[in-house]
């Protein structure tokens, strides 16, 4: 797999390009975004840039230089074809060995690689480790991803592609890299952001475009036990779009069920007409 890499103004690909003292490495002090790119067209670029700035503000860092990031994005996409995962990261930069930050400026990293289209359906499992809905970085897309990595590894060992997590109140929260929706009594429900879930771009658009299409889509506080009784289940992310779930913790589900299919169709239709939807 070819991964194209740009760091602070230069295409570096596999060359050394990052200081070992960068706080993105030493303490995970940074934020990132992952976007879907099709034929070098970045989907929902403005929404991703906006969320990056919200995450930076949550860490007490200044907004990103969007023109600079766009320069890096164009540099890594120029040779790509088909479906691409684009990831761009901004860290607080080089700092001392500890949590205190340095003053040498932020680091900007942009990467891109071609990917396969997501499978028509997937399997998920639950994990016991809760998301802290009152934590200091709740709702921020930071590079502090060790909890997610542990949970995803557990899911892979169980034959699934995603792990679903509760929050500290034993409410359904989110996946390691996705938001979750369930169908209950003819409604499509997803946990509110107060659950500790990340404000996913695809999640937002499913709520917006699903409602515009007349579908019964809304936020609702949900117990983890809803996964034992829901009629349908799907997860959303920038690279999965709307992906039906065929099994949760070994319980088989219809995938895609009728409402999941309707949501997926509404999303795909609107996305085809709105490359950069308004936030």
Q: Give the domain ranges of the chain.
A: 3-114, 122-273
Dist CA 238 CA 243 (whole Å): 11
What is the structure's pLDDT at 87?
98
CATH number of 122-273: 3.20.10.10
Contact 121, 255 (CB under 8 A): yes
pLDDT value for 170:
98
Report the pLDDT value the prediction gives residue 58, as an integer from 0 to 100: 97
CB atoms < 10 A from the CB of 54, how many? 15
| 16-46: burial string, b at 16+ Cβ within 10 Å, e else | eebeeebbbbbbebbbbbbbbbeebebbbbe
Q: Rounded to 5 degrees, what angle do the CA atoms 49, 40, 108 make? A: 40
Q: With beta carbons less than 8 A apart as the criterion, state whether 92 and 23 touch.
A: yes
Q: Roughly how many angstroms between the first and final C-alpha of the chain, as a whole number?
A: 33
The per-residue pLDDT for 117 is 95
The CATH number that domain 3-114 falls under is 3.30.470.10
Q: Establish whether domains 3-114 and 122-273 are of one fold.
A: no
Per the confidence metrics, is the pTM higher than 0.85?
yes
87 in Cβ contact with 32 (< 8 Å)? yes
Q: Which residues of the chain have pLDDT under 50?
A: none
Helix (H) or strand (E) holding 180: strand 179-184
Q: Determine the pLDDT at residue 278.
A: 84
């Amino acid at each position: 797999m070819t991964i194209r890499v740009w760091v602070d103004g230069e295409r570096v690909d596999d060359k050394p390009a990052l200081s070992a003292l960068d706080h993105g490495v030493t303490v995970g002090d940074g934020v990132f975004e992952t976007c879907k790119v099709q034929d070098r067209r970045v989907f929902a670029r403005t929404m991703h840039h906006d969320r990056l700035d919200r995450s930076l503000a949550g860490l007490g860092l200044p907004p990103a230089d969007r023109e600079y990031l766009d320069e890096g994005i164009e540099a890594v996409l120029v040779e790509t074809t088909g479906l691409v995962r684009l990831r761009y990261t901004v860290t607080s930069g080089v700092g001392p060995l500890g949590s205190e930050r340095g003053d040498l400026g932020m680091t900007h990293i942009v990467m891109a690689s071609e990917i396969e289209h997501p499978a028509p359906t997937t399997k998920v499992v639950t994990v016991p480790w809760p998301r802290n809905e009152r934590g200091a970085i709740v709702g921020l897309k930071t590079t502090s991803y060790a909890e997610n990595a542990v949970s995803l590894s557990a899911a892979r060992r169980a034959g699934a592609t995603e792990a679903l997590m509760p929050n500290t109140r034993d409410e359904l929260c989110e996946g390691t890299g996705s938001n979750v929706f369930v169908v209950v009594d003819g409604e499509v429900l997803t946990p509110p952001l107060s659950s500790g879930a990340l404000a996913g771009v695809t999640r937002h658009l499913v709520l917006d475009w699903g409602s515009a299409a007349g579908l019964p889509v809304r936020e609702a506080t949900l117990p983890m036990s809803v996964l034992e009784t829901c009629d349908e289940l799907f997860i959303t992310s920038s690279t999965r779009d709307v992906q039906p779930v065929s099994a949760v913790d070994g319980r088989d589900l219809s995938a895609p069920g009728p409402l999941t299919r309707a949501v997926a169709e509404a999303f795909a239709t609107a996305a085809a007409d709105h490359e950069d939807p308004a936030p």
